Every structure is written in structure tokens, then in C-alpha cells.
């Protein structure tokens, strides 16, 4: 439409020019018509030339923009390729690191099991020369009396086979916050199983394993399980840590503990998810070497916890300097046993005392609602006990294992509650 209007204007101008030269210049009609036509064609060609120039300049600008876009795209592709190479290198490095960790675990486990076999052999020679009697399967409800009827050599043989065949189960018990009762931590507890399925509690196997020097093996198997669980846990959340118990025998083991520290050095990326727990008696008897071990473990970033507390006459500042961050006290001690535990302050002020030293108070063995009410009067932040959930065994996949603690405080395994 625009081109038609322009042509019409040019035609009118040319016609006016022809009429003018015919009327005023005396040019004949034919010649004036020819000159008008030439004028029209000249105007049309000039206009077309102007349009072609505009189109050429527009095309040149578009080509320049395309070239610029191409350079930008090429740069983006280079940056993307560089990012992909960096990600690939990071994934390969991580896979390589994971492989090194697995190899380290296997070598450490192989060495411990070899040492374990040697210790068992030596212990067997010291025990009765007769071959241990094979225990008969007993109902689970009679496990305690059945195990207590066994001699040391027989129980040692059951422990040996349980460890060699990896019949070591990991149990998790929730630690919750008060008053919300939200899941904050898990405590990992180890149990052995005999060939007939009888569960052997720590109090039962420790009396034989400790004198035989086997607690480092039990602790190590528990440690491996904890690390495996935490690795799966961090894929979903990093807000929940697992308390892993280490015996006093292991802390004092000059052979095992350096290996243990070396292993945790390779797994210090899990420092925020693993809390190592030691009994009070073990810490008080640790000596200079044991305290150095605790400090080295804390220097790797791992928090420490103290449980089995019998006396509260402690230098909490020094306890903190060793790397401890959590103190577990029995609920009944807080409620009516502070004087017997030689506490320097009343239960109402005990949490504030620990807070000043940067320590968390966890009330354990909480079994009824009345106890919870009393603990809230003391402003206790964390609690553990059968009221909030019994220890539950983990099987193949801990992230799918269904826990069903008491209705008062439902707990979902390895997943923070709402």
C-alpha cells in the first residue's frame, strides 16, 4: 500500500511537470509526455535505490548482530564445556575418594579380623582345652538365663562366630528436643546375634570380649556400620547426627586408636553427622595419652559426648577443652539425685552451668510423662528414653526401615520429623 501511494505521488509530480513544460515552455505534447515519463522513471529508480540502500544497511546490521550472537554462543559453549569438564573431574575425584575410603575400610577390617583371629586363638588356648559345647536354640524370652549358663570358652566361641560372620546388628534410638519432641539425633547401639538368632546384649558380651581384647573389633564393626548409615543419611538431610559409642578399652588401645584416627581423617567430611560417645569412667581414666586421642578426634571436627555419668563433680571447662559438646545425665539424677552426684548447683541451674561452658544437656532414660514435666521445669532441651522410642534394629536399608515407637512420640527413621 505504501509503495502504491509513493508511485502515485511520483506519477502526479511527473504529469504536473509535463503539463507545465507544455503550457509554459511551448514544448510539444509528445515531447512533454516523454519527459514526464522519464521523470517518473528517474524518481522511481531513485526511490528504489534508496530502499535498496536501507535494506542493505539493515542486512549488514543483522549479519553483524548474528556474528556477535555467534561469538557469544561460542563463548557460552566454551564456558559450558569448561563447566562440564570441571563437574566431570569433581565426580571422578569424588568417586576416586570414595574408592580409597572403601579400600581403606577393607584393609582396616582385614587387619582387625586377622588380629581378632590371633587373639581368639590365644584366648582359646588359655581357656578349657575341651571343644566348646554347641548351645541349643532357646526362646528369645530366655536369652539372658541361657547365656548366663554358658562358660567363658563357650560364650567366647559364640562371640567369635558372630563377629567373623558379621552378625553385628545396629540399633538406633531417637534423641528428641523438648518440648516439641522433634527428632534431633540417633544413638547407635550394637548387638550381636548367635547362630540361632539369640540377641547378645553389650552387658553380656563385654564381660568376655573386654578381657580378650576384642572390644576394638566390636567398636570397629559398629563404626563401619555408622559410617555407612551416615553416608546414606546425608543424601537426604544433614540436620541429624548419629551418636556412636566407643568403649574405654578402644580409647586406651595403643594399636587400634591411631588406625581409628587415620580412618576418621579420611571421613572427616562426615564430622557434622557423627558424634562419638565415651563413658565417664573411660574419660576419667584416659590419662595423658587418652586425652590426646580425644583432642585429635575433636580436631578433625567430630563432636564428643559423655554418658554413664556417676558424678557431676567435674571440671566442665576441661571437659569442653577435650572436645566434648554433649553431656548425658540420667533423668532421675536430675530430678532427685543431684546431691548424691555431688553436683555443684541445683538441677534448676545445671543447664545454665553447662551452657556457659558450651555444653548441651541430654536427659536419658526418660520413661514416663511425669518425668518429662519435671525435666521441662529444669529447661532441659534434649531427652532420650523408651518414652520417645525404643532402640530399633536396622536391616538391609536403614532409610526404608520402619520404626514404630510408642504413640507418644512417633519417630521416622533417618528422617527429620515435621
Q: How would residue 393 be classed by pLDDT, with cut points 50, 70 and 90?
A: confident
Higher pLDDT, 405 or 63: 63
Q: How far apart are CA 219 and CA 205, in angstroms?
A: 12
Q: How would residue 101 be classed by pLDDT, with cut points 50, 70 and 90?
A: low
Q: Is 267 helix (H, G, I), strand (E, B) or coil?
A: coil
What is the reported pLDDT for 418? 30
Antiparallel, parallel or unpaired: β 183-193 and 168-177:
antiparallel
Q: Are 234 and 265 in contact (CB under 8 A)?
A: no
Residue whose C-alpha is closest to residue 318's, from 304, 328, 331, 329: 304
* Range in 207-221, 255-269, 398-412 with the lowest mean pLDDT: 398-412
What is the reported pLDDT for 124? 46
Q: Are 310 and 329 in contact (CB under 8 A)?
A: no
Antiparallel, parallel or unpaired: β 303-307 and 274-279:
parallel
Q: How far apart are CA 143 and CA 150, in angstroms?
A: 11
Number of neighbours of residue 311 by Cβ within 10 angstroms: 13
* Range in 65-69, 177-181, 359-363 with the lowest mean pLDDT: 65-69
pTM of the model: 0.65
Helix 29-126 to helix 256-265 angle (10° resolution) is 170
> Of 75-79, 145-149, 379-383, 396-400, where does the model show the most confidence?
379-383
Instruction: Give pLDDT tens digits for 121-175.
Output: 555 455 443 344 444 444 444 445 567 777 777 888 888 788 777 788 888 999 9
pLDDT, the chain, mean: 78
Amino acid at each position: 500500500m505504501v509503495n502504491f501511494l509513493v508511485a502515485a505521488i511520483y506519477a502526479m509530480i511527473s504529469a504536473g511537470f509535463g503539463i507545465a513544460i507544455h503550457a509554459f515552455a511551448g514544448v510539444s505534447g509528445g515531447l512533454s509526455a516523454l519527459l514526464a515519463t522519464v521523470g517518473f522513471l528517474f524518481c522511481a529508480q531513485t526511490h528504489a535505490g534508496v530502499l535498496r540502500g536501507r535494506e542493505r544497511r539493515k542486512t549488514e546490521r543483522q549479519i553483524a548482530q548474528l556474528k556477535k550472537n555467534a561469538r557469544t554462543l561460542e563463548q557460552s559453549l566454551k564456558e559450558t564445556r569448561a563447566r562440564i569438564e570441571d563437574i566431570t573431574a569433581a565426580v571422578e575425584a569424588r568417586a576416586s575418594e570414595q574408592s580409597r575410603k572403601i579400600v581403606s575400610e577393607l584393609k582396616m577390617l582385614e587387619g582387625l579380623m586377622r588380629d581378632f583371629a590371633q587373639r581368639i586363638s590365644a584366648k582359646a588356648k588359655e581357656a578349657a582345652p575341651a571343644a566348646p559345647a554347641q548351645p541349643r536354640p532357646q526362646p528369645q524370652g530366655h536369652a539372658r538365663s541361657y547365656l548366663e549358663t554358658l562358660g567363658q570358652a563357650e560364650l567366647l566361641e559364640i562371640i567369635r562366630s558372630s563377629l567373623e560372620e558379621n552378625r553385628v546388628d545396629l540399633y538406633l534410638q531417637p534423641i528428641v528436643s523438648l518440648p516439641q519432641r522433634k527428632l534431633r539425633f540417633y544413638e547407635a547401639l550394637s548387638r550381636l546375634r548367635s547362630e540361632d538368632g539369640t540377641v547378645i546384649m553389650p552387658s553380656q558380651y563385654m564381660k568376655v570380649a573386654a578381657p580378650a581384647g576384642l572390644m576394638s573389633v566390636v567398636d570397629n564393626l559398629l563404626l563401619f556400620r555408622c559410617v555407612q548409615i551416615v553416608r546414606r543419611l546425608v543424601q537426604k538431610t544433614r540436620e541429624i547426627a548419629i551418636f556412636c559409642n566407643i568403649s574405654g578399652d578402644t580409647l586406651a588401645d595403643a594399636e587400634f586408636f591411631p588406625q581409628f584416627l587415620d580412618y576418621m581423617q579420611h571421613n572427616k567430611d562426615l564430622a557434622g553427622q557423627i558424634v562419638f560417645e565415651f563413658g565417664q569412667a573411660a574419660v576419667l581414666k584416659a590419662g595423658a595419652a587418652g586425652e590426646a586421642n580425644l583432642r585429635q578426634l575433636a580436631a578433625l571436627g567430630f563432636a564428643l559426648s559423655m554418658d554413664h555419668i556417676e558424678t557431676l563433680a567435674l571440671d566442665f571447662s576441661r571437659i569442653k577443652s577435650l572436645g566434648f559438646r554433649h553431656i548425658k545425665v540420667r533423668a532421675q539424677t536430675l530430678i532427685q539425685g543431684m546431691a548424691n552426684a555431688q553436683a555443684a548447683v541445683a538441677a534448676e541451674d545445671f543447664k545454665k552451668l553447662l551452657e556457659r561452658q558450651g555444653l548441651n544437656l541430654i536427659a536419658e532414660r526418660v520413661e514416663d510423662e511425669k518425668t518429662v514435666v519435671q525435666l521441662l521445669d529444669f529447661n532441659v532441651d534434649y531427652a532420650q528414653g523408651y518414652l520417645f522410642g525404643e532402640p530399633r534394629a536396622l536391616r538391609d536399608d536403614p532409610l526404608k526401615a520402619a520404626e514404630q515407637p510408642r504413640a507418644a512420640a512417633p519417630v521416622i527413621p533417618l528422617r527429620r520429623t515435621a
